[in-house]
Structures are given as structure tokens and as C-alpha cells.
Amino acid sequence: MSTPTGHYDFAAFEAKWQKHWIENRTFRTPQPGDEDFDASRPKFYVLDMFPYPSGVGLHVGHPLGYIATDIFSRYLRMRGFNVLHPMGYDAFGLPAEQYAVEHGVPPRETTAKNIANMRAQLQRLGMGYDWDREIATTDVAYYKWTQWIFLQLYNSWYDPEEDTARPLAELIHSLECENRVVGPHGELVPVAGASTGLQEFVGLPPGTRTWSQLTPEERHDVLDAHRLAYLDEVAVNWCPALGTVLANEEVTNEGRSDRGNHPVYRRPLRQWMLRITAYADRLERDLELVDWPEAIRLMQGNWIGRSEGAEVDFAVEDSEEVIRVYTTRPDTLFGATYMVLAPEHELVDVVTSDEQRAAVQAYVEQARHRSDLDRTAETKEKTGVFTGGYAINPVNDERIPIWIADYVLMGYGTGAIMAVPAHDTRDYEFALKYNLPIVQVVQPPGNEDWRGYVGDGIAVNSGRFDGLTTAEFKKQITEWLESESLGKGAVNYKLRDWLFSRQRYWGEPFPILHDAATGQVFALDESELPVELPTIEDYRPQASDDPNAPPAPPLGRATDWANVRGYMTEAGSVKLVRPGQDAPAGVPVRAFRRELNTMPQWAGSCWYYLRYLDKHNDDALVAPEVEDYWMAPCDGGPVGGGVDLYVGGAEHAVLHLLYARFWHKVLYDLGYVSSPEPFGRLFNQGYIQAYAYQDARGMYVDVNDIEEQGEGKDLRFIRKSTGEPVTRSLGKMGKSLKNAVAPDDICHNYGTDTLRAYEMYMGPLEASKPWSTRDIVGMSRFLQAVWRRFVAEDGSIMVVEEAPDDRLHRLLHKTVKRVTFDMHNLRFNTAIAALIELNNALSGGAVPRQVAETFLKLLAPIAPHLCEELWQRLRGSHWHRSISVERWPAYDEALCVEAEVEIVVQVMGKIKARITLPASADEGQMREVALADERIVAELTGKTVRKVVCIPGRLVNIVAN
């Protein structure tokens, strides 16, 4: 296998060793149940945020985190760890579908091609993945289990008393035993002890019924209202021209789609939702269980947005309706001088007078075209319209006007606010604009202006509560509201339930059926999984110019797939009856229509880290003993357990990480996983930046079309194809800025090891740093120097069996210590610096074998191809064992301490000499040698020594005059 000559032919030996690793499954990871599993070895699970397989493939910025985790994994293997380091592809979703539409090729084909290309790129980068565990979210064998998890969500509810998810069957049993009854609004009411008749229950709200008193349809509705996955009519960003719902981030401030610039409307649509809000408290609280960057923890906490306050009921004048608001400042109720409803609030029509109806309807229609982000922007002028209706302030019976304003959203609180303009910035601006009353109810400390003051203070103009501090007033007014049945203390969250359906083709089908006769929703039986995505010719969404056009998901075109027959099982699920089959005797067959929406791209990435553990298991998501082994906390790791090191970009701080934590906690509650958290330690790598170039119109120009002219202050940038000057700026590398550099080109010109080492040497892993193809030459020279250090021009190995001298021996041990520390702490740039220093310290002759072998082991995780080749040559052509399975070098602490140190000698604070002493020299020895030095003797001639200050190992300072 060895290369016979001394030529540094990186292309040959890199290809050779990449092939060797794959063919020999060098990085296969044994686990419980495997014959070669060694339970005595500590485990470590290293995970990258898996990529979306785009058509353009990777640029050099993408592998930064992948290279880092590969180096760390190789290092841990050599330290004796059983390391799991897999890779896969997040391949469903809108980007893949858009790419397919643009190229006129079905997404199934483009995705397979893109995955193959990305796999080849990763393998060329020398990644030591366990390729036996490779997954793609689009594989039927994978999304079968995505659908299975959805069924667990659908068939579970959240028990607030136990603070956990439980199977719906347990809720049904509780209702049948009358341990719970159903309140007048469908709420579940716990009952102390079982009973046989509702008449024995005391103190229950009027209209409360037992399970036996409900019709089958009512029972179905009660269960649906408490499932963790449920259908609901929610206001969404609907783009009829694109035929789909858009996220807020996909809508411009002008209320148009960022793709195609089409009109977007806010309209209610029946959508699948996941009840993530049930987990809001735990999602926030359990951030204490993980080792994550503080900035990420803060972002998740802010997104969850827990607050404490009160719900207050305002009666609508001349109506039986009540407007409920949530406020964090119930102490300001006496200052509420008007109310504001979101344009989507269900009571808008009820409170609007005939005189104001046209104006209100026009405003509501206008609000439909604005995104939530635009509506709540601090820089936007607040707008609104008076409804003509009034509410009654419950604390003082004041009649206050009801307005509509789009800065109030239905997605937060109750979609209605009590406006206290004296002590809320937005309300204050709104009141000034529309000449609404402003009443001070909080006295700020000192002489601070009360207008728009939002802090704590002393209550004023608040009746019998005057003089109370804000904290005490909150407590007392909440107790009063509860005693008068006008409100209650409440906890609220900014977090909303997760909108989980898309009107797209390229996504996971739902394992859900709709009864063709009644429209009721039923889950498919688990034995029917997977529900395979059908192949259709036209997979584009149904476009329309009509904002009220109903959604027409592409799956509706697969009529044979969509329309099915089946029968109900005793468990309440549906088993299908296919053509030529019959249902069990006596069981009626019914017609159903499949759910035509698909799951969002987030679905597959919520749990992929679990499937890596047991990819080939056809009977379970993951075997319990395998999951328990890999997801248990490592020694000294976070108590929440989960993946031991998760590396990815900070841009996933909220959505992906929050959704994955939610799914994991559901699986934890139901007993399918053993750790409360999915990712124990999170590390965010920085970005590789690159210069981007823009012409006079502001359009980006391809970096390959740029020529530099001049130097220093005269440096100019010219577009080669036109000769026109362009401007340069530094930004994130990517396709949109046309400044991407392909790793394939770098690997071809300089070698994979050079790319790996250069990206790690650019700076700290967590920092963003600019790419420079010019600077990569320096790293290429270092690796060539390593090659020449060991290999002569004739191909012979320049290694001798003699021991290193004391200086080199000590430097070697100090280098091992430095590199070990840096590797363990992901400080690869300083590890490489130490290796460069050691290489420079080697003489031009043959290298002692001990030094050579240790050096190669230290460098192997960073430059594995080069080190594999040199290791084999060092051991002989018969040697085929990878250096990656060798033991990591140990160091002797005693040899890491300097035998001699250089001491600076100062006279009156000025350096006059440097002396060399044993590192163990005490102050007496330092004083004696310093005063005896001939340079110091000459300096002190004619002077009297007044004082000698010694700092062991560093400094002698002589005071003399």
C-alpha cells in the first residue's frame, strides 16, 4: 500500500487512505449487542448538525464544524473512548422542492443526486464517520419513525397535575372511572376519589358532565382538545400565488413573499398544531441541565418568554360578552383608559358599532397584508381604529373605549390588552396620536417623569391601594380580582403552539385519515406505517390569484393514494382494507381521505440523533439498551445527558433546538428515551467569512471574476470580464454573495490535510474569521516540511533508533501536554501552533523514533492522510493498522517543567543582564549569581546596594545608589 518514492504526492496517498478507511470500516462503532463491543471503554457521542443537501454542495465554510468534530473524535478514539460520530442529511422541505421546480426534475431525483455529491465531498475531506449509520430524512425507513413519533404525540395528552405527557388511553380510563369529569367548556376537572354519579360531586361548575353522559362525537372532541397533536383553525400567512403558508421570516415588511414578491394575506386556516406550550415551563427550567453557551440559553429563554401576572375580565357594555386580557402589571388597572383588540380577535364584530363597521372592516383587511414582525416593529408608527364599543374597567367601573390595532397579536396572551398609556411606551404613543386619556397610577422614584414610565414605584390614583409598592399592589389586586371572580393570577408565555403542517409535496405524509362522511379525524394504526409519499407528475403547489381560494395541496392529485377504505380497531385507530381484501367479519368498512398536508422540514431533524443509534432496527425507534448506553451522561458531563457534544451554528439557537428538546421530552415522558435532554453540551462554531464584491448597481459579482491591482493604499478591485471597478466588503461566505470557495478546488490544489489544518489554524473555533486562499500556502508548506522531515528524496525513512537529547526530550513531553490540553478543549489552532514549534525544533538530520512516532500521533487527528502514510512507512510496508487506533501519547509531568530558566536582572528597574539558573534555584542562589555577574559588577561600581528583590524563576531587581 505504500508509495515507493519520496515525492510529496498528497493526491495519491489521500485517495489511498480514504479508500482504505471506507473499505475496512475503520470508524465503525461497536455498541451493546455487538460481538466486539467493549463495555470497559468510556463512551462519547459527538454530533454535527446535519446538512441540507443543496445542489451546489459544500463551500469551505460548511466543513469548519465537521472538521473540528472529526479531529475531536479521532483524538478521543486514540484516548481509548468508544466514539460515535455519524453523519446524515436533512433532505425534506421547501429548499429541495424549489430546487426541483427550478430545474424541472422531481425532488426525489435531485435529492438523491445532491446527497451522493455531498457524501463524496465529505469523504474527500477525510471524515472518520461511521458510514454504516448514514441516514437521510427522506428515506422511507427513516420517516416511518418520524410518522411513528407523530402518532405518539397524537395519542398522548399532557397531565398538568403530574407535569408529564401520558398516553391518551390513561386519560380515557380516568374519565371512565370518573376520576375526571368534563367541564362546560371541554376542560378536564379532577375529582377527588371515584364516584358513580355526578350528583355526588360537590362544587363543580354548572354544565359539568361525566364521560358516560357524552355522546361518541362529544367524546371524540374532548380527546382531540387535549392531544399533543391537534387540528385547529389559526391565523397564518397565506400566499395564494405560491399555494402555501409562509413563516413570518418569509414575509417582507410590505406584506409580500420574499420569494416572487407575491401578496401575502393573514387568514384563518385549519392546520396541524403541536402543543409545545404544555412544555414551556420544563423547556425553560431544564436549560439548567445542559452545558450550552449562555447566549443560546438566553435566546431560548426569551423565545419561551415566561412572565407572571394576572388575567382580568372586562365586561363589554350592553353585552354578555367578556374580554379577557393578560397583564404583567395588574397594579396599573386604575390607569387602563382604553382597550385594544387584535384585528383577528373573535369579538371584533360583536363590539363594533354599525357606524364604525366599514372603517373597522377596512382596517382588518389592511392588517391581513402585514406580517407579525412588521406589525410589532418598534420603529413603525402605531395605527388603529375605534370600534364604537365600550368595556367596563372592573376596578373602578369606568367606561373605556375599545379600539382595534395591529400592534396587538392574537399569538400572544389573549389577543386583547388593557391600555395603560401613562406606563407603557406603545400605549403612550397611541394615546397621544388619538387623543385618548392618560392617567398616572405609578409614582416613579425621585423626580423621574411618570409619562411612559414602565418601572416599579408607589401606587397613586388607585383608590384604597394608594401608597402600596408595585410588588405589594400586584399581590393585593390579584387576590381581590380572584375574590370578586373578575380575574386570577396567571403565568403566560410568548411561546406559541407549533404550526406543523405545510401545503407542500416534498415532506413526510401524516399518518392521519379523515372520515369521508363525518370529517372526523382518526390515526392510522401503527401497523400501517410507513405511509409512503406517492410519486406524482405535478408536485408544484396550486397557485391562485384569489386570496380566499382554499388550499389545494399537491398530494390531492394522487387520488388513488388519497382515497382509501378501512375499519376501526378496538384501540380507535384505522386499519386499511386494500383492493381484494376484506375487513374482519362483522366489522363495517368506511371510506376515508388521507391528510393531504405534509410535515414541515423541522420534523426529521427533531430526532435524527436517536436514529443514528440504531439505524437498522426495524422494530423500534431505538433499542432501550442502546439508547441508554449512548444517551447517558458521560463522566463529568451535564446531568441532563444526551449527545455529549453537539456542534453547529448559532442560527439554530431557537427553532431546531427548541423543537428537538420538545420531542425528546415527550419521548422521555412516554418512556422511549432515558435522558431528559437531547443535547448535553452545545458548541457553536464561528463562520468562515470571505470578501464579497459589488458593482456600481450594488449587484454581487462572482469572486472568480475579480482581479486585484496595485498595493496598499493603491489597491483596487476590477471585474475581469468588463474592466469596471468594484467595491469589496467582508461577509459570511455563501451562494447569495457569490463569494463561495469550493473545498474540492482547495483539496485538488493543496490537499485535504492542508484544508483541514488551515481551517483549524485560522483562529479559535468559536470565532468568525476571513478566508484567504493566499494564506493557505503557509499551511501547505508546513505539511510538506513534515513530509521532508521524515522522507528522503529516494523514499527512505529518516528515522533513527537512538534516544532524543534532553532538550528535545523535554520539548516533546511539553508538546504532548500542550496538544492534549488543547485537543480536549477544542483549541485546535494552538495545538497546531505547538506542533509547528516542535517541527521547527527538530534538526535537519534523522529524527529519533520516539519523537517521530509521538509527533505523528499528535498530528494524526488534524492531518490524518499524511500521518497514515508516514506511519505505515515508519512501521514498514507490512503494516496495515491505522494510526487512528493507536494509543494517544502520554507525558511525564516532571519533564514538562523547565530544567533551567532565564532570569532577568535589573538595576533600578532597567534590564542590565540575563542569567541562566536551575529552575529550582531559591532567592539566595538568585541573589548570589546575579551580584557575581560581571555585567552587574561593572554596573554597580561606585554604588551601594540598598536592596535586592527576587521573584523566583523570573526576576532579580537591584536597588543601588
pLDDT at position 845 = 83
The cell numbers describing 40, all together, are 470497559
Contact criterion met (CB below 8 Å) for 501 and 244: no
What is the band of 193 on the pLDDT scale with cuts at 50, 70, 90? low
> How many CB atoms are closer than 10 A to CB 606?
25
pLDDT at position 654 = 85
The cell numbers describing 665, all together, are 421530552
Closest CA to 616 of 160, 186, 86: 86
Q: Among the listed ranges 260-274, 643-657, 938-952, which one has the minimum average pLDDT value? A: 260-274
pLDDT surpasses 80 at 258: no
What is the band of 196 on the pLDDT scale with cuts at 50, 70, 90? very low
pLDDT at position 236 = 85
Percentage of the chain exceeding pLDDT 90: 78
Q: How far apart are CA 226 and CA 157, in angstroms?
A: 6
pLDDT, tens digit (0-9, with 9 covering 90-100), for 478-493: 999 999 999 999 999 9
pLDDT surpasses 60 at 171: yes
Closest CA to 796 of 847, 724, 754, 862: 847
Q: Which DSSP state fits 561?
A: H
Q: How far apart are CA 128 and CA 74, in angstroms?
A: 7
Contact criterion met (CB below 8 Å) for 660 and 607: yes
pLDDT surpasses 90 at 374: no
Contact criterion met (CB below 8 Å) for 445 and 426: no
Q: Among the listed ranges 79-88, 811-820, 892-901, which one has the minimum average pLDDT value? A: 892-901
pLDDT at position 665 = 99
Q: How far is residue 166 from each of residues 194, 228, 607, 668, 671, measured CA to CA in Å?
A: 20, 10, 19, 11, 10
pLDDT surpasses 60 at 3: no
Q: Averaged over 603-628, what is the pLDDT?
A: 98
Q: How far apart are CA 291 and CA 680, in angstroms?
A: 6
What is the band of 2 on the pLDDT scale with cuts at 50, 70, 90? very low
* CATH architecture of structural domain 898-960: Roll (3.10)
Mean pLDDT of the chain: 93
Q: Averaged over 564-585, what is the pLDDT?
A: 94
Helix (H) or strand (E) holding 776: helix 776-790
Maximum pairwise Cα distance, the chain: 121
pLDDT at position 200 = 52
pLDDT surpasses 80 at 372: no
Q: How far apart are CA 322 and CA 316, in angstroms?
A: 6
Q: Averaged over 603-618, what is the pLDDT?
A: 98
Which CATH number is 743-894 given? 1.10.730.10
Helix (H, G, I), strand (E, B) or coil at 568: strand
pLDDT surpasses 90 at 120: yes
Helix (H, G, I), strand (E, B) or coil at 466: coil
Which CATH number is 307-492 given? 3.90.740.10
Number of helices and strands in the chain (H, E): 28, 40
Beta bridge partners of 729: 692
pLDDT surpasses 80 at 109: yes
What is the band of 369 on the pLDDT scale with cuts at 50, 70, 90? confident
Contact criterion met (CB below 8 Å) for 461 and 440: yes
pLDDT, tens digit (0-9, with 9 covering 90-100), for 681-735: 999 999 999 889 998 888 889 988 999 999 888 899 999 999 999 999 988 888 7
Contact criterion met (CB below 8 Å) for 500 and 599: yes
Q: How far is residue 326 from each of residues 226, 422, 583, measured CA to CA in Å?
A: 22, 18, 52
493 phi and psi angles, rounded to 5 deg: -135, 145
pLDDT at position 651 = 86
Domains in the chain: boundaries:
165-276+499-555+564-572, 307-492, 688-732, 743-894, 898-960
The cell numbers describing 472, all together, are 405589594
Q: Averaged over 651-667, what is the pLDDT?
A: 94
pLDDT at position 482 = 96
Percentage of the chain exceeding pLDDT 70: 98
* Cα distance between the two ends of the chain: 74
Q: Averaged over 8-20, what is the pLDDT?
A: 96
Question: Letter for the amino acid at 934?
Answer: E
pLDDT, tens digit (0-9, with 9 covering 90-100), for 28-76: 999 999 999 999 999 999 999 999 998 888 999 999 999 999 999 999 9
Q: Averaged over 817-827, what is the pLDDT?
A: 98
- Tell whether omega for the bond before 889 is within 30 degrees of 0, i.e. cis: no
pLDDT surpasses 80 at 376: no
pLDDT at position 549 = 83
∠ at Cα 29 (23, 33), nearest 5°?
Answer: 120
pTM of the complete model: 0.89
Q: How many residues does the chain have?
A: 961
pLDDT surpasses 60 at 787: yes
pLDDT, tens digit (0-9, with 9 covering 90-100), for 849-863: 999 999 999 999 999
Closest CA to 353 of 312, 397, 318, 395: 318
